Amino acid sequence: MTLLHGRGFASVNYPTGMNLGGDPSQALVHATTMGGFVVSLSSVDLGQGLKTVVAQCAAETLGIPMENVIVDTADTDTGPHCMGTFASRGTHRVGNAVIMAAREAREVMLQVAADELEVDAGDLETDGTGYVAVKGAAAKRIHISDIALAAHFKQGKTISGRGIFLKERSYPVPETGEMDPDSCQAHACTVAEVEVDDETGVVTVLRLYNTYEIGRALNPAMVAQQVEGGAWMGVSHAIFESTEPYYPASREHGPVDFSEYLMPGPGESPEQTSVILERPASNGPFGAKGIGEMTANAPIPAIANAIFDACGVRLATMPFTPESVLRGLDALRDAA
């Protein structure tokens, strides 16, 4: 028995959004009577952290603490329109719509504050702690709770805003096929280090090194979670997961429930090192691009290339099972 070691890499670029009749998302923002701000969406958080990023975008634009923002995803019957949570579009499309709505609401908020302070709205600024103050005279200020109360019960104004991000649909040029189907593209590279047992065919992924260029990381902790969680999924696709092990034949020997469906546990999860590169996108919310689905992509071909580097077996069908490795080694011996 020999434990063979190999290293492989793969790089990908991934589009943000799709070319679906404009691919729009809408957002509504309004203040409560006590100075909280509600962001209303039909966009769904599948666990990737959309609600957190949306709250960050709203708070940054309004100039208020993030804890003063409530994100209500409502439903598609009552919420503003959204094309859906897919195509790594959530942060880009919804973030832009929320920023637009928050800017409109901010204008009203500042005007209400200006009327209360008897100054011009253009002379006001937010400090991020909940106060609106006169530029250069921080002592002359008013809290957002008092602004909201004045708007509702004294001035009779609604502090609210509407936003929609629309990427106009692109049609291909008939002569060349040229078109502009997405808004921006993120980029990534993964290096995988593997160990291959030439007696059993078992492949162990030892380490992954991930580098992602995602425009701007609005929430670095969640970006790291997305990258490393997606890489785990890539390892699972590459080495373990299969519902049709002898496709296109019958489902014989296929898993029938999750007790038989293989996925890597803690002992099979590789050590990971991740680096984020920031190259802000001109049309992204604060420069952000999408990072959702692409995180599972690069690890798979990187692992395949590492297996080839280790033992010379080129695998192109997932999962890369011990059987497929051993058959590849046998083929190499027969060809020698």
* Separation between Cα atoms, residue 322 and residue 237, nearest integer Å: 14
The pTM score is: 0.90
Residue spans per domain, the chain? 3-16+182-335, 23-167
32 three-class SS: coil
pLDDT tens, 245-296?
777 776 777 888 888 888 999 999 999 999 999 999 999 999 999 988 899 9
Question: What is the DSSP secondary structure assignment for residue 269, as one 8-state letter?
Answer: P
Q: At 61, which amino acid appears? A: T
How would you write the pLDDT of the chain (336 residues) with one tens digit per residue?
799 999 999 999 998 888 766 788 999 999 999 999 999 999 888 888 899 999 999 999 999 999 999 999 877 788 888 887 877 888 999 999 999 999 999 999 999 999 999 999 999 999 999 999 999 998 999 999 999 999 999 999 999 999 999 888 888 999 999 988 888 899 999 999 999 999 999 999 999 999 999 999 999 999 999 999 999 999 999 999 988 877 777 677 788 888 888 899 999 999 999 999 999 999 999 999 998 889 999 999 999 999 999 999 999 999 999 999 999 999 999 987
**Nearest-5° Cα angle at 141, 52 to 153:** 80
Question: What is the DSSP secondary structure assignment for residue 82, as one 8-state letter?
Answer: B
Dihedral, CA of residue 145, residue 146, residue 152 and residue 155, to nearest 10: -150
Do 3-16+182-335 and 23-167 agree at the fold level? yes
**Nearest-5° Cα angle at 266, 263 to 268:** 60
- Dihedral (CA of 198, 199, 203, 204) sign: negative
Give the fold, CATH level 3, of 23-167.
Aldehyde Oxidoreductase; domain 4 (3.30.365)
pLDDT tens, 147-194?
999 999 999 999 999 999 988 888 899 999 998 888 889 999 999 999
User: Are the C-beta atoms of 72 and 19 separated by less than 8 Å?
Assistant: no
* Separation between Cα atoms, residue 62 and residue 16, nearest integer Å: 26
Alpha helices in the chain (DSSP H): 50-62, 95-117, 144-150, 220-235, 299-311, 322-335
Dihedral, CA of residue 314, residue 316, residue 322 and residue 328, to nearest 10: -40
* Separation between Cα atoms, residue 13 and residue 279, nearest integer Å: 14
> Which phi and psi angles does 210 have, rounded to 5°?
-115, 135
CATH class of 3-16+182-335: alpha beta
User: Are the C-beta atoms of 153 and 159 separated by less than 8 Å?
Assistant: no
